[in-house]
Structure 1
Amino acid sequence: MSDLQISLIVVGALLILLVLGFNWWQDRRVRRKMQVHFPTNEHDPLLGAGEQSAARTSTKQEDAAWDTPAAARREPGLGKREPGVAETPARGAPVVAVTPDGDDAEEADPATEVVIEVAFAEPVRGTDLQQGLQGLRSAGRKPIRIFGVTDRARHRARLHADESYSALQVAVLLANRTGPLTAIEWSQAWARVQDLAERFEATIEGPDQQAVLERAARLDDTCAALDTQVGLTLLLGSAQPAAEVLAVARDLGFVHDGPRLAWVSDEGQTRFTLTRGDGAAFDAGMGGVERLNLLLDVPCSPADEHAFGRMVDVGQQLAQRLRAELVDDQGKPLAEGSAQVIDERLQVLFTQLEQAGLRSGSERALRVFA
């Protein structure tokens, strides 16, 4: 081998080492930004303080574990659920709070979400990312939230078209009323993030699949033990025009919330809801209404010493105005003093939800009890 060939080999090796060193330095710079703007919570108020985070891997999960989605969970409650009653609270357009330093205040929730981190080799324009993220809204029945770090080291809960981003966090909900996150749902989320990474030349990092599924199962067990809904029924006897029923309900203080009506607190939170017995919207067609359902969704309603009693009072006013009979979810007239007894039991549930880190009516509770 000639001196020239040896020299070329040495120069080539040095160039490779320089490239590797530059990539290592760039990766460390991006990770520092992500650690600053995506802080972790070592003490998980929901899943136990001091629990160590799952070991992370930057390779694609090989074991898809294609199992069947979890069966519909039967929630414990003080009364049965009425068919056709909407369970998910309506969401308005979110208002993004901003911290004094210009960062968005909303962050991924380590207690109820699992995060996949995405680090771009070069900043990516928000317009391009918004297009690439169109298919990353949910994995199966688990919603996904996207958070970003701009090229100017600003944390964003919503991506803006006029900014560029050096990193993302993809937060997948671990459990809701459809059950825990399944292996199929996790694999779908991971595959879509990997497609995004390939499109924009990024590296991805996320927890091990088995650790994710175990966390999801624990969260689901916690939520199932606390999930309670209390219902009342209004029997109208003969069918009454939907428009007249709607007018009475609105006159008593109900407001529209999608296909249902909601009784809201002074802060604008839904306390309980009113739906038609046939599940149709109040303004759908000209059909008559024969039955109405009142529902108190305990985890999604703000804590109240008279939560059930308040719903009973409103139900009695509706019954009087509509010449209807108010019964419990078993079809029996309300017993004397039952409202006070149920309210006392609900206070225990409100306390248990608070202790579990799922304060009733909070954003966290609304996510997992949807």
Structure 2
Amino acid sequence: MSDLQIGLIVVGALLILMVLGFNWWQDRRVRRKMQAHFPTNEHDPLLGAGDPPAVRGGDAPREDAARDAPAAARREPGLGKREPSVGESGARAAPAPAGESDDAEEADPATEVVIEVAFAEPVRGADLQSGLQGLRSAGRKPIRIFGVTDRGRHRARLHADESYSALQVAVLLANRTGPLTAIEWSQAWARVQDLAERFEATIEGPDQQAVLEQAARLDDTCAALDTQVGLTLLLGSAQPAAEVLAVARDMGFMHDGPRLAWMSDEGQPRFTLTRGDGAAFDAGMGGVERLNLLLDVPCSPPDEHAFGRMVDVGHQLAQRLRAELVDDQGKPLADGSAAVIDERLQVLFSQLEQAGLRAGSERALRVFA
């Protein structure tokens, strides 16, 4: 082999090493920027002990972990039931320098698993918006998208006129459909991989088995605290839906999708009113024979008289509609039962607070949906 050939081989090897070194340096720079603008709260007890191992690059989740975590069977918990002592709210936004501010809303590491996406070059928001259309949910678990702009600003919503150097894809770990499954996690990972291939990015996320275990723990905690209390109004003969709706609205109920809601002073539903047949109040001209009042405890703001307030409104509504108010077992309400149930609900509100799932909070609304 001539000296020229040896020299060319050496020069080629040096060029390859330089390219690899540059790519490593660029990847590390982007990740430092992501860490600076995607802070996590290490003191949230819902997070558990330690961070799960990461899966790097474009590799799929480990095959030996591709199984569903044993999902805890959901049960109807009694009022005042004990739960694991865990709690406090999610991560806080990092302070931003004057001039440009970060969005306050962030991924919640206690209830969401995050896949990080780092672009080789900044990508226009308009291009990303079209590429993220398929990342709304994984199975029955919602997905939220957060971004870091090329100017280092944290965004909870992507804007078409900005460019982004990194994204966070936050997948909900559990809700009332149960814990995140292996299929749902794999589906989310595959969609992020497709995004990374389209926009030349690297991805990083936790090991699948660690994700499934965290999801199962969160689901167990939520299942132990998930309580709903209901009342029923028996109207006797069918009454026109339009008249029932008019009476309810006149009393103060407001539309909340297909149901009606009794709102708190802060504009949150305290309890809801639905037709017994499940139809919307404005659906057709059919008659109504039964109405359901429901206090969804984790999704309602804490209230010393949560159940008693619903009972009072139920009695007024029953009087206006010439109906009979009974409990969810079809039995008349016993004297003093409202006060007893309200005492038990105070224990449950406190347990939700201690578990980091304050009733009516954004976090509680996500996992109890």
TM-score (norm: length of structure 2): 0.92
Aligned pairs for 1:155-174 (under 5 A) are 155-174=154-173
Q: What's the RMSD between the two structures over aligned residues? A: 1.7
- Aligned 8 A contact 1:103 1:156 in 2: yes
Partners of 1:45 and 1:62 lie apart in 2 by 27
Partners of 2:253 and 2:73 lie apart in 1 by 30
- Aligned 8 A contact 1:270 1:301 in 2: yes
Q: Which amino acid aligns with 2:66?
A: A
- Aligned 8 A contact 1:148 1:167 in 2: yes
The 3-state SS of whatever aligns with 1:109 is coil
Find out whether 1:225 has 2:196 as its counterpart.
no
Shift, 1:66, TM fit: 4.9
Partners of 2:261 and 2:73 lie apart in 1 by 25
Q: 2:131 maps to what in 1? A: 132
Tell me the alpha carbon deviations over residues 113-170 of structure 1, each in whole angstroms, 9 at most, x when there is no partner. Answer: 0000000000011111001100001000000000000001010000000111000000
Gaps of 5+ in 1: 79-95
Aligned pairs for 1:72-87 (under 5 A) are 73-77=74-78
Q: 1:112 maps to what in 2? A: 111
Q: Which amino acid aligns with 2:335?
A: E
The 3-state SS of whatever aligns with 1:46 is helix
Structure 1 runs of 4+ aligned residues shifted over 6 Å read none
- Aligned 8 A contact 1:300 1:366 in 2: yes
Q: 1:40 maps to what in 2? A: 40
Q: 1:180 maps to what in 2? A: 179
Partners of 2:340 and 2:303 lie apart in 1 by 14
TM-score (norm: length of structure 1): 0.92
Aligned pairs for 1:89-104 (under 5 A) are 101-104=100-103
Find out whether 1:252 has 2:251 as its counterpart.
yes
Q: Which amino acid aligns with 1:111?
A: A
Aligned pairs for 1:266-281 (under 5 A) are 266-281=265-280
Partners of 1:77 and 1:262 lie apart in 2 by 24
Gaps of 5+ in 2: 80-92
- Aligned 8 A contact 2:185 2:208 in 1: yes
Q: Which amino acid aligns with 1:76?
A: P
Partners of 1:55 and 1:145 lie apart in 2 by 22
- Tell which deviates more after alignment, 25-34 or 272-281: 25-34
**Size of the alignment, in residue pairs?**
350
Shift, 1:6, TM fit: 1.0
- Aligned 8 A contact 1:70 1:178 in 2: no
Q: Percent identity?
A: 89
Q: 1:241 maps to what in 2? A: 240
Shift, 1:67, TM fit: 4.7
Distance of aligned partners of 1:68 and 1:36 in 2 relative to their CA distance in 1, 3 Å threshold? closer
Q: 1:200 maps to what in 2? A: 199
Tell me the alpha carbon deviations over residues 154-198 of structure 1, each in whole angstroms, 9 at most, x when there is no partner. Answer: 100000001110000000000000000000000000010011101
Q: 2:54 maps to what in 1? A: 56
